[in-house]
Amino acid sequence: MHDRAEALATVKQVKHHFLKMICFTSLAFTLLLFSTVQASPVDRMAEALRFETVSFQNAEKINYEAFAGFLAFIEQTYPRVFSVLSVERFSDYSLLLTWRGSQPELAPVLLDAHYDVVPIEQGTLQDWLHPPFAGVVADGYLWGRGALDDKMAVITSLEAVERLLAANYTPARTLYFTMVHDEEIGGHQGAAVVANALHERGVKFAYMVGEGGIVLPDNPMLAGKSMALVGLAEKTYITLHLTATGDGGHSSIPPRNNAAVSLARAVTKIHDNPFPVKLVEPVTDMLRVMGPEVGGLSGWLMRNQWLGASPIAHQMARDRTNNALVRSTSAVTMLDSGVKENVVPQQAHAVVNMRLLPGDNVDDVVASVVELIDDANIVVKLDSWGQSPPVADINGEGYARISEAAAQVFPESLIVPGMLTATTDTRHYQIVADEVYRFRAYRVSMSDSRSIHATNERLATDSLLRAIDFTEQLVLAIAKP
């Protein structure tokens, strides 16, 4: 009887400890769940901005610990995504996530984003209203480098997929998500490596959605109406390195052939002689869609470009933003000359960054610049990122699915085809995607949009929340048969 009583007591004690353990585990899980629920998408985006994932041209300056920290953060923050989707790493810091569809015979779709950001320009830190990597939420905005370009896209994708997984959603079509780490310096270790791996596996996308168009509530071309710009193309990126040579010596006996002066003349010629204005696809498509909304003579000219192309293009060229839509552009960005104030330099260097319209040939552009400079003492060398992808099909499935999602989340906006005047790493994906569409679902004013790569980069908090809703609707739209 004593042994039996002892055994019963032991069983009772074990049962008590087991129940305590279950209660403790349940409490811990509840607390974890509660803390996760309490943290909002805005909080998570703010945390993402605190990682200084800066891509420097000089790779030795890159702090890859910040990149590793960011990847650890998103893996911990979005547990469903990283447990259900297949996750692969390339070049240590770029991710490829694969969400297998229930109908593998359907061609997959790629959604691309990057989380690296550009540096803060030296001498401008004091001009920021909030520190660029503090992740401050104030005055209805998220402040920080990467808020618009392009951590928002990474976070909205993860938020949307996490939400859909919580609802037990399974896509019919297989979806791929890339989150790469070096877009700002060319994408050679990120997008290029991922694209080549997919190409070797024989993956071919129906289309891809990358970085580009936005929702503009105050574009001057469409007064009083918001527009959702879906990019069908982007400009080609090239850089010219100009080196001038001349006679050096003491500044008290200045030579006529001064390298710095020759270089100054050359860059002034480039600046003062912009490329001609012209309308090309997809800007022509954009104007045709906008014409009925604009109305009047301007609207008629937009719809009848056989007559209106020239006046419309020249009118657009008067606005800084729209100017980039109607001509290839050049910008003198770097100058270097001299070692001492009383020494005439024998060499002077300049860097001119150019963005070419679809259809403009790189070699022809370089030849025209050399002819314009017309100076045998100046050598021009080309650094090209390669030709950008061709203009995507406005009648394609990708444009239709993006438009479908945009119409649900931004019903007040006119959906318009457009062109990204900057350049992304989408050119690397041409081997796996014939059609490249560009859209970022943040609603941002013209003035706020100019903070991209500039001081006080910021994203409205309500814009972030709508972008998450859009991304969810986009996934639902593109994932169906």
Residue 196 lies in a domain: yes
Q: What whole-number distance in Å separates Cα of residue 17 and Cα of residue 225?
A: 65
Same domain assignment for residues 241 and 230: no
Query: Does the pTM exceed 0.75?
Result: yes
Residue 26 lies in a domain: no
pLDDT tens digits, 399-457: 999 999 999 999 999 999 999 999 999 999 999 999 999 999 999 998 899 899 999 99
Is the pLDDT confidence value at 33 over 60? Answer: no
Same domain assignment for residues 363 and 302: no
pLDDT tens digits, 153-169: 999 999 999 999 999 99
pLDDT tens digits, 195-248: 999 999 999 999 999 999 999 998 888 888 999 999 999 999 999 999 999 999
Domain hosting residue 289, numbered range: 276-326
Count of helix runs (H) and strand runs (E) in the chain:
15, 17
Residue 34 lies in a domain: no
Same domain assignment for residues 250 and 359: yes
CATH code of the domain in which 444 resides: 3.40.630.10
Catalytic residue, candidates 116, 149, 182, 281: 116
Q: Percentage of the chain with pLDDT > 70?
A: 92
Question: Which of 456, 412, 470, 480 lies closest to 124, judged by CA?
Answer: 456
Is the pLDDT confidence value at 29 over 80? Answer: no
CATH code of the domain in which 343 resides: 3.30.70.360
Let me know if 393 is a catalytic residue: no
Catalytic residue, candidates 182, 183, 435, 448: 183
Residue 2 lies in a domain: no
pLDDT tens digits, 357-406: 999 999 999 999 999 999 999 999 999 988 889 999 999 999 999 999 99
pLDDT of residue 13: 54
Burial classification of residue 317, based on how many CB atoms lie within 10 Å of its CB (0-12 exposed, 13-18 middle, 19 or more buried): middle
Is the pLDDT confidence value at 30 over 70? Answer: no
Is the pLDDT confidence value at 1 over 60? Answer: no
Confidence tier at 35 by pLDDT (50, 70, 90): very low
Q: What whole-number distance in Å separates Cα of residue 472 and Cα of residue 461?
A: 17
Let me know if 116 is a catalytic residue: yes
pLDDT of residue 220: 81
Question: Which of 342, 186, 197, 372 lies closest to 274, judged by CA?
Answer: 372
How many separate domains does the chain show?
A: 3
Is the pLDDT confidence value at 309 over 60? Answer: yes
For the segment 171-182, the average pLDDT, to the nearest whole number, is 98
Q: Which residue has the tokens 């330099």?
A: 345
From 2-6, 119-123, 475-479, the region with the lowest mean pLDDT: 2-6
Confidence tier at 320 by pLDDT (50, 70, 90): confident
pLDDT of residue 25: 40
Is the pLDDT confidence value at 464 over 60? Answer: yes
pLDDT of residue 387: 85
Same domain assignment for residues 52 and 191: yes
For the segment 246-263, the average pLDDT, to the nearest whole number, is 95
pLDDT of residue 223: 83
Among 326, 344, 359, the domain boundary falls at: 326
Question: Which of 453, 455, 385, 394 lies closest to 424, judged by CA?
Answer: 385
pLDDT of residue 38: 64
Show the beta-strand stretches assigned E in 172-216. Answer: 175-180, 207-216
pLDDT of residue 18: 43
Residue 252 lies in a domain: yes
Same domain assignment for residues 167 and 193: yes
Mean of all residue pLDDT scores within the chain: 92
Is the pLDDT confidence value at 34 over 50? Answer: no
Same domain assignment for residues 64 and 165: yes
Residue 410 lies in a domain: yes
Same domain assignment for residues 284 and 423: no
